[in-house]
Chains A and B, each alone.
Chain A
Amino acid sequence: MNNVYYGKLIFELSKPGRRGYSLPKNEFDGYSLEQLPVARRENKTLLPEVDELTVARHYTNMSNNNFGVDTGFYPLGSCTMKYNPKVNEELAALQGFNIHPSTPDCAAQGALKLYDEVQRTLAEISGLSRFTLNPYAGAHGELTGLMVIGTYHRQRGDVNRTKIIVPDSAHGTNPASAAVAGFQIVQVKSTAQGTVDVEDLKPLLGPDIAGMMMTNPNTLGLFETQIPEIARLVHECGGLMYYDGANLNPMLGVCRPGDMGFDVMHINLHKTFSTPHGGGGPGSGPVGVRAGLEHCLPNPQVVYNEEKGRYEQHFDEESLGSVSGFLGNFGVIIRAYAYLLTLGRENVPMAGRLSVLNANYIKERLRSHYKLPIDVVCKHEFVFDGLREEYGGDHHDAEHVTTLDVAKRLLDYGYHAPTIYFPLLFHEALMIEPTETESKDTLDAFIDVMIRIAEEAKSDPKMVKSAPHNTPIRRLDDVKAVKEPKFTFKAL
Chain B
Amino acid sequence: MAKIIEGLYYSESHEYVRVEGEFGYVGITDYAQSQLGNVVYVDMPEEEDEVTAGEEFGAVESVKAASDLFSPVSGEVVEVNSALEDEPELINQDAFANWIMKVRMSDPSELENLLDAAAYAKICE
A–B interface present (Cβ within 8 A): yes
Give the contacts of A433-492 with B (CB-CB under 8 A). Answer: 478-479, 482-483
Question: A483 vs B63: C-alpha distance in the bound complex, in angstroms?
Answer: 9
Identify A478's interface contact among B61, B63, B88, CB under 8 A: B63
Output the least CB separation between A476 and chain B (Å): 11
B38 at interface, CB cutoff 8 A: yes
B63's closest neighbor in chain A, by CB?
Answer: A478
Output the least CB separation between A480 and chain B (Å): 9
Q: Which of B41, B63, B64, B88 has the most CB of A within 10 A?
A: B63
Interface size on A, residues (CB 8 A): 4
B88's closest neighbor in chain A, by CB?
Answer: A483
- The secondary-structure label for the interface of chain B is loop
Which residues of the partner chain A approach B95 to less than 8 Å between Cβ atoms? none
A421's closest neighbor in chain B, by CB?
Answer: B64
Question: A482 vs B41: C-alpha distance in the bound complex, in angstroms?
Answer: 8
Which residues of the partner chain B approach A479 to less than 8 Å between Cβ atoms? 38, 40, 63
Question: A242 vs B90: C-alpha distance in the bound complex, in angstroms?
Answer: 45
Question: A479 vs B92: C-alpha distance in the bound complex, in angstroms?
Answer: 13
Output the least CB separation between A347 and chain B (Å): 40
Which residues of the partner chain A approach B88 to less than 8 Å between Cβ atoms? 483
Which residues of the partner chain B approach A483 to less than 8 Å between Cβ atoms? 40, 88
Question: A483 vs B64: C-alpha distance in the bound complex, in angstroms?
Answer: 13
Output the least CB separation between A423 and chain B (Å): 15
Output the least CB separation between A461 and chain B (Å): 21
Question: A479 vs B41: C-alpha distance in the bound complex, in angstroms?
Answer: 10
Give the contacts of B53-92 with A (CB-CB under 8 A). Answer: 61, 63-64, 88
Fill in one digit per residue for B26-51: 1 if any A CB lies within 8 Å of its CB, else 0.
00000000000010110000000000
Question: A478 vs B38: C-alpha distance in the bound complex, in angstroms?
Answer: 10
Question: A27 vs B41: C-alpha distance in the bound complex, in angstroms?
Answer: 56
Interface size on B, residues (CB 8 A): 7
Which residues of the partner chain B approach A478 to less than 8 Å between Cβ atoms? 63-64
Question: A478 vs B40: C-alpha distance in the bound complex, in angstroms?
Answer: 10
A483's closest neighbor in chain B, by CB?
Answer: B40
B37's closest neighbor in chain A, by CB?
Answer: A479
A479's closest neighbor in chain B, by CB?
Answer: B38
Which residues of the partner chain A approach B61 to less than 8 Å between Cβ atoms? 482
Output the least CB separation between B87 and chain A (Å): 9
Output the least CB separation between A282 and chain B (Å): 26
Question: A482 vs B38: C-alpha distance in the bound complex, in angstroms?
Answer: 11
Question: A479 vs B38: C-alpha distance in the bound complex, in angstroms?
Answer: 7
Question: A422 vs B22: C-alpha distance in the bound complex, in angstroms?
Answer: 45
Question: A450 vs B84: C-alpha distance in the bound complex, in angstroms?
Answer: 43
Which residues of the partner chain B approach A482 to less than 8 Å between Cβ atoms? 40-41, 61, 63
Output the least CB separation between A218 and chain B (Å): 23
Give the contacts of B7-40 with A (CB-CB under 8 A). Answer: 38, 40
Which residues of the partner chain A approach B38 to less than 8 Å between Cβ atoms? 479
Question: A483 vs B38: C-alpha distance in the bound complex, in angstroms?
Answer: 10
Q: Which of B38, B40, B61 has the most CB of A within 10 A?
A: B40
Output the least CB separation between A43 and chain B (Å): 30
Output the least CB separation between B41 and chain A (Å): 7
Fill in one digit per residue for A108-137: 1 if any B CB lies within 8 Å of its CB, else 0.
000000000000000000000000000000
Question: A194 vs B121: C-alpha distance in the bound complex, in angstroms?
Answer: 31
Question: A483 vs B85: C-alpha distance in the bound complex, in angstroms?
Answer: 11
Question: A230 vs B69: C-alpha distance in the bound complex, in angstroms?
Answer: 35
Question: A482 vs B88: C-alpha distance in the bound complex, in angstroms?
Answer: 11
Output the least CB separation between A120 and chain B (Å): 42
A477's closest neighbor in chain B, by CB?
Answer: B63
Output the least CB separation between A210 and chain B (Å): 24
Which residues of the partner chain A approach B41 to less than 8 Å between Cβ atoms? 482
Output the least CB separation between A202 and chain B (Å): 26
B41's closest neighbor in chain A, by CB?
Answer: A482
- Could you jot down 11 A-B contacts, CB within 8 Å? A478-B63, A478-B64, A479-B38, A479-B40, A479-B63, A482-B40, A482-B41, A482-B61, A482-B63, A483-B40, A483-B88
7 nearest A-B pairs in the assembled complex, by CB-CB distance: A482-B40, A478-B63, A479-B38, A483-B40, A479-B63, A482-B63, A479-B40
With A479-B38, A482-B40, A483-B88 given, name 8 new contacts (CB 8 A): A478-B63, A478-B64, A479-B40, A479-B63, A482-B41, A482-B61, A482-B63, A483-B40
